[in-house]
Chains A and B, each alone.
Chain A
Amino acid sequence: QVQLQESGPGLVKPSQTLSLTCTVSGGSISSVSYYWSWIRQPAGKGLEWIGRIYTSGTSNYNPSLKSRVTISVDSSKNQFSLKLTSVTAADTAVYFCARGLIGATSFDPWGQGTLVTVSS
């Protein structure tokens, strides 16, 4: 059974870069059947899709974040990562990683989420 776990700093200063890693266990990140996504949720608010990547390296990003986001894959570590540059308080949120099944175009399973606070 595949499990995902987010990790990274819980506090980032304004204007700096937010970096998170999602470790996949119980399955290979290199499977051609899946893509890997990041989704975030500000406190008390709804979900916002950030982006996704295939193991081939092909990626798609939310247009509202595209200029600041990079998602990458490290197959040797069975991990994928998120970098979000020039952060502001508006980027404070719980960040989830999730697996997507090609053809089902849905997200399952999800990591437990990690809270990132942007503050000086």
Chain B
Amino acid sequence: QSALTQPASVSGSPGQSITISCTGTSSDVGGFNYVSWYQQHPGKAPKLMIYGVTKRPSGVSNRFSGSKSGNTASLTISGLQADDESDYYCSSYTSSSTWVFGGGTKLTVL
């Protein structure tokens, strides 16, 4: 199974919005509403930010939102804050009953 495709880096200024894309295939992202997004600060474990494409776990800011169109899912962060600077990973369930992650995107808050 091939890794999902994410941009290596994105950046934005405080208060702005950014979107991170995650492209897969009809066997993973496009075939299921089972895309999740994780935030990982350096040296820390990943933290679940979005699951089921659009759902936010309790405690996650509503500045984080998810969507999907075809084989591409997206994570949007609005009202960028300094603490949002981190690595972000998408993940999808697959038709083989396995999971696949994206390569990760480094978000820089300018």
Binding site for B on A (CB under 8 A): 37, 39, 46-49, 52, 60-64, 96, 104-113
Residue contact B1 to A106, C-beta cutoff 8 Å: no
B69 at the interface (CB under 8 A from A): no
Chain B 39-63 against A: per-residue CB contact (8 Å), 1 yes, 0 no?
A: 0000011111001100101000000
Residue contact A110 to B91, C-beta cutoff 8 Å: no
Instruction: Output the residue of A37, A47, A49, A62 with the most chain B CB within 10 A.
Output: A47
Residue contact B48 to A49, C-beta cutoff 8 Å: no
Instruction: Count B interface residues, CB 8 Å.
Output: 27
Binding site for A on B (CB under 8 A): 1, 3, 32, 34, 36, 38, 44-48, 51-52, 55, 57, 89, 91, 93, 96-104
Q: Can you give 7 contacting A-B residue pairs, CB < 8 Å?
A: A46-B3, A46-B101, A47-B89, A63-B1, A110-B45, A110-B47, A112-B45
> Looking at the complex, which one of A61, A108, A109 makes contact with B98 (CB distance below 8 Å)?
A61
CB distance from A69 to the nearest CB of B (A): 12
Question: Which residues from B are CB-within-8-Å of A111?
Answer: 45
